[in-house]
Structure 1
């Protein structure tokens, strides 16, 4: 069961990523708005896109565990972008300005917060509620699996040995395509051009079969 669905969705996912790649190239020509935190958010979105595409390629080539391992950084890079856009990051940027003066042992203090902290910061911000809800839902569904595959945990070891159910791969691809779609929204918004959102709307229409159904 789901073998045919998986066989059908893989080429469609590549078509979706080809569409997104063209849009990303156009957005890079437009560039992000000049404020430092927005430019950093834009680069975080570019990184999320690269992780998502790499994950898809690995899964298509049969390296499913490695593909799944990239789904967490794909999500985390997107989340970091929204955190940079909307959260109160003044204290973090003050630390960042001293980066050239701190010792190697202290450099870890400049890392962005953990996922849970970024989500809490965003809850106190004016970030779009519907996107924040999707980010929280995605984490709630996938967090345990993310941790296992990223850190070579038991689920990764067992699944890599016995193989993956097609439905697991199918559902994971669609969920991470949703992350990719949100990322396209973020990157488009960061250019400051309202018309940059039009291809994203078209993408949702043309690739509805690649995305999970969002209720509410």
Structure 2
């Protein structure tokens, strides 16, 4: 599909700065391939029939969907809209871990209720990221603790910036004029790809054949090392 000529809705000064918004094509291409491979893995990871597990599985799929949407938007030159999706990608993944491991049963049931006025009121009172982490960090189970600590480190390093990008703060406002540096886009995309792998891992671990599905997730790490955190080109 052809995207409309940006000249149709840009001022001349904005058009002159368009070069600053050029996206790193190769990592976007590889990221899209990673996301497709992750969804393929997750589609084959049938979740066990339990409300907590089904909630976590749905959250993992939604998290990857946010990441895939962000990559699609970056590819067509809409970085502000793309950046706004990385926080919900992260929060949806955290909510899945929380619903699986730490949420009170009333919340697990609530997330399975059909939309209604009552469920809308309940949604307004649902725990936010801080409270979910507070509850998750209390868990001593080593099966859970490792991933929660890693995700908490990501929160500490990135959440404030992601919030600004999501809610139209100063950061995206300034970038609208000057564009996003390649290094920033590269870093954000790699971190998002790491979260995609976490989502695929969660889906595998809660599936009816966790061992076989974790082998497939391990393949994601090997096949897409070039677009994951810590693997930046040295060229």
The bucket for the TM-score relative to the shorter chain is 0.7 to 0.9
2:33 aligned partner: 15
What is the RMSD computed on CA atoms of the aligned residues? 2.6
Aligned to 2:8: none
Secondary structure in structure 1 of the residue aligned to 2:180? coil
- More deviation in 17-26 or 164-173? 17-26
The alpha-carbon deviation at position 213 of structure 1 amounts to: 2.7
Question: 1:1-216 maps to which residues of 2 (within 5 A)?
Answer: 6-27=24-45, 30=46, 32-93=47-108, 103=118, 106-109=121-124, 111=126, 113-125=127-139, 126=141, 128-193=144-209, 194-213=211-230
> Which shows bigger deviation, 71-80 or 152-161?
152-161
Unaligned runs of 5+ in 2: 1-20
CA distance in 1, matches of 2:115, 2:83: 35
Aligned residue-pair number: 208
Structure with the larger helix share: 1
TM-score by length of 2: 0.80
Structure of larger gyration radius:
2
> Within 2, Cα distance between the matches of 1:21 and 1:151?
28
Question: Over residues 10-42 of structure 1, what are the superposed CA-to-partner deviations in whole Å (9 max), with x where a residue is unaligned?
Answer: 221122122112212222xx2x11111111111
Q: Deviations over 1:77-119 (max 9, x none)?
A: 11011001111422434666898997477333553x1111111
Give the distance between the partners of 1:101 and 1:13, measured in 2 at CA: 37
Change (3 A) 1:156 1:119: same
Which consecutive unaligned segments of at least 5 residues does structure 1 have?
Answer: none
Moved more, 164-173 or 124-133: 124-133
Structure 1 pair 5/204, CA: closer, same or farther in 2 (3 Å)? farther
For 2:222 and 2:62, the matched residues in 1 are separated by 24
Q: Structure 1 residues 97 and 145, CA, compared in 2 at 3 Å: closer, same or farther? A: closer
Report the 3-state secondary structure (helix = DSSP H, G, I; strand = E; otherwise coil) of the residue aligned with 1:212. Answer: coil
Shift of 1:70: 0.3
**1:72 and 1:146 in contact (8 A); partners too:** yes
